[in-house]
Structure 1
Amino acid sequence: MKKSENEKVQKFLGEIKLIDAEKSDTLIEIREIIFTHFPKTDERIMYGGIVFFLNDEMFSGLFLNKKHITLEFSKGFLMEDPNRTLEGKGKYRRHLKIFTKEDILSKGVSFLVKQAV
């Protein structure tokens, strides 16, 4: 796991691990995908989750819910979604619900993340 340069993010990741190890592993894997595609990403705790920025522009966020993890895309309305996995009808944002670690592959998280910026 890539250690966060942001103390609040690192604390958040540690707390999640204690509360729900399975969700923690899934969240960490998604976070690593984001950093693989965009190594210069800055992350912050906002809105109750981890929000990702590139050049001071927010492009994505990870949020924990009781039954799933939500991966949000700030400009999701522009993204290709051939499997129709993105949800949301707002003007710009779209999100993806991740219930299991297997969803990362089956819902094409890496394909979607590549389009986030």
Structure 2
Amino acid sequence: MSTDRVAKLLDDIRALDEARYTLVQTLREAVLSLGVGVTEEVKYGGLLFSAGKPFCGVFSYAKHVSLEFSDGAALPDPHQVLEGEGRLRRHIKLSAIQDIQAKQVHTYLGLAYQAAAPA
């Protein structure tokens, strides 16, 4: 993990919008707490997280934050919140901190982490 690049990206997001920064940071902390083997890097303009292989990313846009799952099409969607129609990826669009609980983000993070973590 390049902490300088991560810190720079977070500083840039904070300078643009404090609420989006808080949302990104809350998601980041949730992902990193999944296990000791979770790593992060700045890639594709956001934060990409891996555990054996990449499993999710957090991307900040002008009016929302997207939590994207690398193999999201293979994840169960018990709460019907995954968006996207691509062959592999799915995402959850978040506009406010309350969306984390309302859209059951922790459930999906756990599923994605389990699918990516080495046995």
| TM-score, normalized by the shorter chain, greater than 0.5 | yes
Once the two structures are superposed, residues 60-84 of structure 1 have per-residue CA deviations (whole angstroms, 9 ceiling, x without a partner) of 1111111100000011112121221
Aligned residue among 85, 88, 104 for 1:89 = 85
Structure 1 position 58 matched with structure 2 position 54: yes
Asked whether the equivalents of residues 64 and 93 of structure 2 are also in contact (C-alpha less than 8 Å), the reply is: yes
Alignment partners' CA distance in 2, 1:113 and 1:40: 14
RMSD of aligned residue pairs (Cα, Å)? 1.3
Number of residue pairs the alignment of both structures matches: 113
TM-score, scaled to structure 1: 0.90
| Structure 1 unaligned spans of 5+ | none
Provide structure 2 residue ranges, at least 5 long, that are not aligned to the other structure: 114-119
Amino acid at match of 1:114: G
Residue 52 of structure 2 is aligned to residue 32 of structure 1: no
Moved over 6 A (4+): none
Task: Find the aligned partners of 1:69 and 1:38 in 2 and give their Cα distance.
Answer: 23
**How far did residue 39 of structure 1 move?**
2.9
Q: Distance in 1 between matches of 2:45 and 2:2?
A: 18
Percent same amino acid at aligned positions? 33
Mapped to 1, the partners of 2:14 and 2:86 lie a distance apart of: 32
